[in-house]
Amino acid sequence: MSFAFNPFTGNLDTVTGGGGSSLSSMDYEIDEASDTVTYIGKADPGTATSAASWQIVRVTRVDDDYSRELADGDTDFDNIWDDRASLSYS
């Protein structure tokens, strides 16, 4: 058994082979927008980046400290990946 950090929950999730994990059954997009800001989005496989069906987290680094903020402050799958930089995060 192995573990992967889930940036959406802040927890470690178990990862098993063959699609046994919820992490492996999603499509992910990652945008390292700068040295200090990274956006991570997840949606159902095949979801267009222009669809309002993404869950997005912004990870910000200041020195060695990282903060995690969710688009709209929630875990809903209702954001557009293409708009990630202009969304509200908390």
Residue 52 pLDDT: 98
- Residue 78's pLDDT band (cuts 50, 70, 90): very high
Distance between CA 72 and CA 25 in Å, rounded? 23
Q: Which two tokens stand for residue 77?
A: 């799958």
pTM score, whole prediction: 0.77
Q: Which two tokens stand for residue 57?
A: 């987290």
Greater confidence, 54 or 8?
A: 54
Nearest to 39 by CA among 73, 77, 3, 87: 87
Pairing verdict, β 11-15 and 27-32: unpaired
Residue 49 pLDDT: 97
Q: Which two tokens stand for residue 68?
A: 């995690």
What is the average pLDDT across 33-60? 95
**Is pLDDT above 50 for 88?**
yes
Residue 84 pLDDT: 98
